[in-house]
């Protein structure tokens, strides 16, 4: 069965960096595009970034462009989100999701808290 497990969240000071990981199993990871989506406490869903199956295309939300970098290692079945210059408004649960005509499988999420 498809499993997506995020890790790497935690408490970080404003301006610092954090790298999230999403370990995938149960499907051929290298065949699918992948998303990062976040949800601030008590708020709705916000799409963050997408990477194509082979890593050749990547796209970002305006709110994170230039600060966040999505990447993947298909040999390790893992998706990453490098987050730099973090701000208080980046505080959220970050989910990774597999894409097939829609975000069809989601992980449980990892909480990132940006606070001094």
Partner 1 sequence: DIVMTQTPLSSPVTLGQPASISCRSSQSLVHSDGNTYLSWLQQRPGQPPRLLIYKISNRFSGVPDRFSGSGAGTDFTLKISRVEAEDVGVYYCMQGTQLPHTFGQGTKVEIK
Interface positions with partner 1 (CB under 8 A): 35, 37, 44-47, 50, 59-62, 95, 97, 99-109
- Cβ 101 to partner 1 shortest distance, Å: 5
Q: Would you call 78 helix, strand, or coil by DSSP? A: strand
Q: Would you call 88 helix, strand, or coil by DSSP? A: helix
Q: Would you call 22 helix, strand, or coil by DSSP? A: strand
- Cβ 70 to partner 1 shortest distance, Å: 13
**Residue with Cβ nearer partner 1 (35 or 72):** 35
- Cβ 76 to partner 1 shortest distance, Å: 22
- Count the helices and strands in the chain (H runs, E runs): 0, 11
């Amino acid at each position: 069965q498809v499993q997506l497990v995020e890790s790497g969240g935690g408490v970080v000071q404003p301006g610092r960096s954090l790298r999230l990981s999403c370990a995938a199993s149960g499907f051929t990871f290298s065949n699918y595009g992948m998303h990062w989506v976040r949800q601030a406490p008590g708020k709705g869903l916000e799409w963050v970034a997408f990477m194509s199956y082979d890593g050749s295309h990547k796209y970002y939300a305006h709110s994170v462009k230039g600060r966040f970098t999505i990447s993947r290692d298909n040999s390790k079945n893992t998706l990453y989100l490098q987050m730099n210059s973090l701000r208080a408004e980046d505080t959220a649960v970050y989910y990774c999701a597999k894409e097939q005509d829609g975000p069809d499988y989601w992980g449980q999420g990892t909480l990132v808290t940006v606070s001094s």
